[in-house]
Each structure stands twice: as C-alpha cells, then as structure tokens.
C-alpha cells in the first residue's frame, strides 16, 4: 500500500531529524535569512518532542478516563434524565475555541505546563464524550435485546457487548482529541509550556522561517502518524474488521 510506505518514510525521516537535526541544516538554511541558525538549538528538539507528546498523552489519557466514564454513567438506565443535558453541554462546549480555554486556564494555574494540560484535558473531553455517547446509544437494538434475552446482567452487557461494539467509535473520539491536542499544545508555549510551540514562537519572534517550518513539520508529521495509528487500531477493533476475520 502506498499510504503505508509514505507513513513509514515519514516516520523514518522524523526520527532521523530528531536524533541528528544538524544533518538537516543544509535543507533548512535557505529559509533562515541573514545567516541566522537554521536549526533550533536552545533546547534539544528530541526533548521538546518528548515533552510535547507526554503533555498530549497525559491530557488525552485523563480526558479519555473521565469522558468514557461519564459517557457510560449517563447512558445507564437510571441516569437517563442527565442525557439531554450531557448532549447540550457537549455540543455547546465544542464551540469554545481551544485557545480561549487555554487563555482562561492561565489565571487558575499560572504560567507553565499546567494551564496547557488543563486546557487540553477540558477540550479533549468533548469529542471523546460525544463519541462514547454515540457509540453506546447507537448500538443495534437487536444486539442489546439479544444480550438481555440471554440473561446477561447489566454489567456483563456493558463489558461483553456494549463497550466492545462501541470501542471503534470511542477510539475515533480519542483520535480526534489527540490530533486537536497535538496542534493546540503548540499554543501552550505562549504561556510558557514546554512544547514544540517554543520552536515556532522563537521563529516568529526572530523572523526565522526555518524554525517555524521545522516546528510545524515535526508537529504535523506527529499528527499524521498518530492519526494513522488510531485509524489502524479502529479498523482492527471494528466488528467484522481484519482481526475478526482471521
């Protein structure tokens, strides 16, 4: 498959760049005007990338736990009265710009990685929660009825039938959150979070396009790879997907 080969190549180039960025200096030099350094060296790019990923991973993991838990809760029979509210809050919440959430988190947590983590966590809740709701409420009625008819307890139905069937949809929500978080995290550097945004902002401040491009391309490539990884996982876990047939 062409797509897979291209992704593999992208991953390899990214790894090479992060491990030995100075090798790529000739490539980026034309973008750095007036003899400015073509490669960002104030902090190790690999270190920033790992920080960036760790921040995103922590936020998305926390969002996933909370959002999936809430999603399961409000779809239980006794909690139906909360469901319309949950839907409204989700759709309204998604109109909040992530940058605004980030800016509003600053007074609560001060500068640094804290507000970024909080903003990414809050913003990440919504897609995951929405997809958990969609996944759990969109199951074919015949399947849930059959599970009931066979005498499964509510907990057994949840673990053995509902969650496995909703998993691909939930994962799609996690993917969306992760990709948004990856991009939004760069803005975190405007409030002093350690992310690859630091490279881009340094480029903006010193009019060094080489920095802007290397920061942007690293984040973009990471987003592509993570996106592709999730899609692959979703396909494997989908009912009737490759893992089922083999």
Partner 1 sequence: MAAAAPARARVTLSRPGVLFAAIGLAGLALPLVQFRANRIVAGEGASLPGALGGWGWIAAAALAAALLVGVPARTPARLRLALALGGVLVTVAALGASAGALTPPGDRIARVSPSAGFWLLGLAFALAVADALARIGLAFRQRWALLAGAVAVVALVLGSGLLDDVSVMREYQARRDVFAREAGRHLLLAFGSLGAALAVGLPLGIAIHQVPRLRAGVLGGLNIVQTIPSLALFGIMIPLFGWVAATVPGAAAAGVAGIGAFPALVALFLYSLLPVVSNMVVGLSAVPHGARDAAVGLGMTRAQVLAQVMIPLTLPVVLAAVRIVLVQNIGLAVIAGLIGGGGFGSFVFQGLNQTAMDLVLLGTLPTIALALVSGIALDLLVAQLDGRRGRGT
Give the interface with partner 1 as residue ranges (CB under 8 A).
31, 79, 81-82, 84-85, 87-89, 91-92, 94-100, 103-104, 106-107, 179, 182-183, 186-187, 190-191, 196-197, 200-201, 203-204, 207, 209, 212-213, 215-217, 219-221, 223-224, 227
Nearest distance from C-beta of residue 65 to partner 1, angstroms: 20
Nearer to partner 1, 106 or 161 (CB): 106
Nearest distance from C-beta of residue 69 to partner 1, angstroms: 15
Tokens 């291209």 label which residue? 6
Angle between helices 45-74 and 83-93 (to 10 degrees): 150
What sections of 29-162 are H helices per DSSP?
A: 45-74, 83-93, 98-109, 113-137, 141-149, 154-156
Nearest distance from C-beta of residue 7 to partner 1, angstroms: 12
Nearer to partner 1, 168 or 215 (CB): 215
Nearer to partner 1, 166 or 191 (CB): 191
Nearer to partner 1, 67 or 213 (CB): 213
The span from the CA of 209 to the CA of 192, in Å, is 21
Torsion sign, CA atoms 204, 205, 207, 213: negative
The span from the CA of 113 to the CA of 89, in Å, is 26
Nearer to partner 1, 147 or 174 (CB): 174
Which H or E run contains 167? helix 163-188
3-state secondary structure of 242: helix
Nearest distance from C-beta of residue 153 to partner 1, angstroms: 23
Nearest distance from C-beta of residue 155 to partner 1, angstroms: 21
């Amino acid at each position: 498959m062409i797509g897979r080969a291209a992704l593999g190549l992208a991953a390899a180039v990214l790894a090479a760049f992060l491990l030995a960025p100075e090798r790529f200096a000739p490539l980026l030099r034309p973008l750095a005007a007036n003899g400015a350094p073509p490669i960002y060296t104030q902090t190790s790019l690999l270190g920033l990338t790992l920080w960036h990923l760790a921040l995103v991973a922590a936020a998305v993991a926390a969002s996933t736990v909370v959002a999936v838990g809430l999603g399961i809760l409000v779809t239980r029979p006794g909690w139906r009265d909360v469901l319309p509210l949950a839907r409204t809050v989700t759709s309204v919440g998604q109109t909040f710009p992530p940058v605004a959430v980030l800016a509003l988190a600053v007074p609560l947590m001060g500068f640094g990685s804290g507000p970024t983590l909080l903003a990414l966590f809050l913003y990440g809740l919504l897609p995951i929660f929405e997809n958990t709701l969609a996944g759990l409420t969109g199951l074919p009625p015949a399947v849930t009825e059959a599970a009931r008819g066979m005498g499964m307890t509510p907990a057994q139905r949840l673990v053995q039938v509902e969650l496995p069937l909703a998993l691909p949809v939930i994962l799609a929500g996690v993917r969306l959150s992760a990709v948004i978080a990856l991009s939004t995290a760069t803005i975190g550097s405007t409030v002093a979070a350690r992310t690859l945004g630091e490279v881009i902002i340094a480029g903006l401040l010193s009019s060094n396009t080489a920095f802007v491009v290397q920061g942007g391309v690293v984040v973009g490539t990471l987003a592509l790879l993570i996106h592709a990884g999730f899609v692959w996982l979703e396909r494997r876990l989908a009912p009737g997907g490759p893992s089922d047939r083999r």
